[in-house]
């Protein structure tokens, strides 16, 4: 991983995801791209959240947006210039989700925030679900309460033999190599015809990783079981596939994914 993409937006979680992106970039010797996107449609939604159009000039909205952008840029540039990580700005005049999807085509990892609240179109559960299911490649979700992301700590990898979990496992290898310990788990019975837990452990062994494996007994739900296991090892990160149930995947995610998206304790690396 040599290209890290970071979602930039003026919200309460910006600081925590920036710190996480800086840590990852530093540990992996990667370049950080700070991506800020805004479309006129998003400005109109902010100005008229209930859909009441008063004819307010779009030129004035653009001017206000530019002034807000300059203040935002100056604020975070002051922070970035003190860091020992190579970085660049990327500003796109499209909606944030499309901007991230576009730039992620040439990124090894995209960093966003996990949230259980709807705090506007650029910081909401719907935005997050769209990022996880729409971005090509791994997405690292950082809880908005995370004070420090530690990639060299304890990692739990949730495995179920699906294509999504395989993509997540392969994508996570550079970070797993930094970890102090990796626990590879599966919840419940294995599905016939899928690669099992030991096959996944063997794959990681080819990359020089010695991992612990555990077949978890489901208590309540798969997501609760995975979270309990993460708590048991005081995990610094969870790795898992992201699953959509339908064409409306941005809104209707699988139950385990939805639960992991909205919990606020563990950073999670997803891959859809």
Q: What is the pLDDT of residues 77-87, one digit of tens each?
A: 999 999 999 99
Q: 256 to each of 21, 240, 241, how far by Cα in Å? A: 25, 10, 10
Reported pTM: 0.88
Answer with the residue of higher pLDDT: 40 or 180.
180
- The SS3 call for residue 127 is helix
Residue 151 and residue 258 in contact, taking contact as beta carbons nearer than 8 Å:
no
C-alpha–C-alpha distance, residues 208 and 134, integer Å: 31
Chain segment 147-198, per-residue pLDDT in tens: 899 999 999 999 999 999 999 999 999 999 999 999 999 987 778 889 999 9
Residue 212 and residue 184 in contact, taking contact as beta carbons nearer than 8 Å:
yes
Residue 128 and residue 253 in contact, taking contact as beta carbons nearer than 8 Å:
no
Identify the structural domains of the chain with CATH numbers, from first to last: 3-143 (3.40.50.620), 154-271 (3.40.50.620)
Chain segment 194-231, per-residue pLDDT in tens: 999 999 999 999 999 999 999 998 877 888 899 999 99
C-alpha–C-alpha distance, residues 66 and 153, integer Å: 41
Phi/psi for 3 (5° steps) reads -135, 110
- The SS3 call for residue 90 is strand
C-alpha–C-alpha distance, residues 66 and 106, integer Å: 27
């Amino acid at each position: 991983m040599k290209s890290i993409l970071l979602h930039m937006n003026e919200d309460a979680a910006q600081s925590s995801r920036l710190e996480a992106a800086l840590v990852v970039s530093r540990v992996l010797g990667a370049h950080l791209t700070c991506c800020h996107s805004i479309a006129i449609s998003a400005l109109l939604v902010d100005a008229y959240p209930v859909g009441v159009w008063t004819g307010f000039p779009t030129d004035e909205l653009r001017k206000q947006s530019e002034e807000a952008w300059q203040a935002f840029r100056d604020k975070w540039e002051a922070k970035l210039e003190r860091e020992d990580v190579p970085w660049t700005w990327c500003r796109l005049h499209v909606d944030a989700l499309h901007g991230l999807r576009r730039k992620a085509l040439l990124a090894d990892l995209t960093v966003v925030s996990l949230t259980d609240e709807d705090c506007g179109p650029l910081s909401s559960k719907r935005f997050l679900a769209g990022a996880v299911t729409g971005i090509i490649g791994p997405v690292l979700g950082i809880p908005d309460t995370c004070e420090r992301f530690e990639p060299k700590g304890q990692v739990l990898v949730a495995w179920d033999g699906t294509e999504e979990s395989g993509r997540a496992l392969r994508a996570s290898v550079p970070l797993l190599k930094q970890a102090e310990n990796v626990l590879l788990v599966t919840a419940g019975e294995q599905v016939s015809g899928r690669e099992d837990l030991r096959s996944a452990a063997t794959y990681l062994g080819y990359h020089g990783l010695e991992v612990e494996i555990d077949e978890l007994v489901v208590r309540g739900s798969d997501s609760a079981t995975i979270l309990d296991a993460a708590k048991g090892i005081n995990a610094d990160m969870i790795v898992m596939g992201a699953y959509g149930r339908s064409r409306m995947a941005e809104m209707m995610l699988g139950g385990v994914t939805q639960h992991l998206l909205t919990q606020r304790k563990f950073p999670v690396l997803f891959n859809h």
